[in-house]
Amino acid sequence: MRRNLIRFGLAGVLAAGLLGTAAIVVRPEAPIPVATTDTRPPADVLAQRITRAQQQLRAVPGDWPGWASLGAAYLEQARITADPGLYPKAEEAALRSLRLRPDGNSDGLVVLGALANARHDFGAARDRAREALTVNDHDAGAYGVLADALTQLGDAAGATEAVQRMLDLRPGLAAYARASYDLELRGRVTEAESLMRQALDNAVDPHDVAFCQAQLGDLAFGRGDLATAEAAYAAALAADPSAFGAQHGMARIGAVRGDLSGYGRLVARMPATSTLLEYATLLRVADRQAEADQQIELAAAAEGLFAANGGADGLAAAELALAQGRPEEAVTAARAEWQRRQHPDVADMLAWSLHTAGRDAEALPYARRALAGGSRAAGHAYHLGMIELGLGQPEAARASLARALDTNPYFSPVDGPLARRALAGLRTSGGNR
């Protein structure tokens, strides 16, 4: 009972964090005084569309494309504000559209598919997308949903094909963004950046600008270019001060420099399990163990809420189990996620959980799998290296660890130094060089 009370208290902290989030999200913009010029900030076009669409649909409830568009707009809003509270509204709008027009309504199916993706139900998303394509084989949005789903399910070839179809039908920001991610997963980061820059060049909506800049920041960070990454994140935040991806990026850059205040603000705004755990790890390295434990407790509460509401996210669950020193449970969670989908990140999580549980032999194929598609994720290379080290393969370990550090020396304030130490040890203990 006492334990529950503690949990209750922690959840209260979590709720306070959420309230703080809301305060940040809705806070008024400060005007910039410039003579004889209209100084209003850019209108939130998406919010306006939603409001107007609601008004119009109240008057004209039979407008089935309007309902689908409203659902899509809700989803975009949910993505931008990281507010899943909009999901039921999006679903309701899409279902209403489909009730009004059950046949020939790819718009409604695309919204349902996108919603399934947002809820991490990637199999359902794939199915909705394919349904939409049987109705309308030129629907670029359906290919977008399909690409997202197949990427997450681990069907890399299928995802690439879907992205290509989307590019063939409707080149533009949405297609470029997916193409960029697809290329990144295949290690073609230069092309990935160039496509994302192309998307940015034509982005008009501040949210889109912020998205592209944040992605460019992540890509730059991924190859260890902190200055470029920071500039991109700053540009993203100039376009949209509440852009979560850019705030996350800035917090990561701050952490590299030993400043964890960005993470503090980040988790206050959005106390998601994985973000809280990242913060906890950083706090632990900074010898702030009590605060680290607090974050882990919060992460556990967040994960509990998520699961209690029917969510299933094996990655977050595995991360939490690792942070709490329960590697076998991490293995169980990661393996369950792997059954659902074979994305490189899941392979990596399963590998690392197995490694932490002392099962390096089992871990190795998954660690290799995480990188097999060509991904240059430094963290994955580090994990592979440590597993190889554990298996007594110094040569392979040296190559993997060097690869991690060459790709991005700042990939992790925790693992980076470990990688360096391991590498140094491998060199002095007489590798082939």
Minimum Å gap between C-beta 74 and another protein is 11
From residue 84, give the alpha-carbon distance in Å to each of 3, 115, 119, 189, 309: 28, 10, 9, 31, 12
Residues 111-170 close enough to bind another protein by CB under 8 A: 114-115, 117-120, 135-141, 144-145, 148, 152, 160-161, 163-164, 167-170
Residues 330-369 close enough to bind another protein by CB under 8 A: 343-346
Residues 372-431 close enough to bind another protein by CB under 8 A: none
Q: Which of 238, 222, 154, 234 is nearest to 190 (CA)?
A: 222
Residues 164-203 close enough to bind another protein by CB under 8 A: 164, 167-179, 181-183, 191, 195, 198, 201-203
Query: Is 210 among the residues that bind another protein (CB under 8 A)?
Result: no
CB atoms within 10 A of CB 88: 11
Among 13, 24, 82, 95, binds another protein (CB under 8 A): 82
Binding segment for another protein (CB under 8 A), chosen from 37-45, 249-257, 360-368, 398-406, is: 37-45
Q: Which of 313, 332, 311, 312 is nearest to 322 (CA)?
A: 332
Nearer to another protein, 273 or 356 (CB): 273
Query: Is 297 among the residues that bind another protein (CB under 8 A)?
Result: no
Minimum Å gap between C-beta 355 and another protein is 18
Among 187, 224, 304, 413, binds another protein (CB under 8 A): 304
Query: Is 9 among the residues that bind another protein (CB under 8 A)?
Result: no
- Give 295-328 as a 3 state SS string: HHHHHHHHHHHHHHCCCCCHHHHHHHHHHCCCHH
Q: Return the exposure string of 293-326: e unless at least 16 CB atoms fall within 10 Å of the residue's CB, then b.
A: ebbbbbbbbbbbebeeeeeebbbbbbbbbbbbeb
From residue 165, give the alpha-carbon distance in Å to each of 107, 196, 268: 17, 18, 40
Among 24, 83, 92, 332, binds another protein (CB under 8 A): 83
Minimum Å gap between C-beta 212 and another protein is 9
Residues 144, 146, 147: CA angle, nearest 5 degrees: 65
**Residues that contact another protein, how many (by CB under 8 A):** 137
Nearer to another protein, 175 or 401 (CB): 175
Minimum Å gap between C-beta 104 and another protein is 4
3-state SS, residue 156: helix
